[in-house]
Amino acid sequence: MGGFKALKKLSGIPLILHVVRKLKPFFGELLIVTNHPSYLNLIKRDLKEIRIIKDEYLSSQTYKSSLVGIYTGLKNSSFSQSFIVACDMPFLNLDLINYLAGKMENFNAVLPKINGFIEPLHAIYAQECLVNFHEAALRAEFKICNVIKALTVNYIKEKEIATFDPHCLSIFNINQPEDLEKAEKIL
């Protein structure tokens, strides 16, 4: 899509603010992990009480990866479990997030699985997953799915998700200009 995705606008509002406004009343702590904290200065008045943290790279490679973001978020979280979400998911469903959190017992992570694909950036991770993400980052192994294979994961199937979100819109993310156009129509 080009540019800093978090600031791309959907109905005149930056994508990251759609996420923040949905989650802020629900969570005691919000962290925004980014490669470019200074870019968020443009909307800093809307981000009060939210910690903005720069990605922490652990290897000589500074490969930009969501894995580094997950690692950094878990490392800086004050809680035993963290909901990790991408900045480009404007249709989050709080009932679904609450349901995912309730499915953590005896698991390291809870991830939606839709059409056979996992959603690692709309997931809940236990703090003990930090070790797995840390080791992967040190090895410069940036594929999240490889880390997830080593975790004890509760995969939430589409049928369960549909109970709260019939069209799975909370998992909808914006990667292309066409996705942004589709999101405008949904709003």
**Domain boundaries along the sequence of the chain:** 5-186
pTM of the predicted model as reported, rounded to 2 decimal places: 0.93
- Whole-number Cα distances in Å, 109 to 54, 104, 151: 23, 7, 7
Selecting from 3.30.70.20, 3.40.720.10, 3.90.550.10, 3.40.50.10310, what CATH number does the domain 5-186 have? 3.90.550.10
Instruction: List the pLDDT tens digit at each of the 187 positions of the chain.
Output: 667 899 999 999 999 999 999 999 999 899 999 988 888 888 888 888 899 999 887 655 556 789 999 999 999 999 999 999 999 999 999 999 999 999 999 999 999 999 999 999 999 999 999 999 999 988 888 899 999 999 999 999 999 999 999 999 999 999 999 999 999 999 8
For residue range 103-134, list pLDDT tens digits in order: 999 999 999 999 999 999 999 999 999 999 99
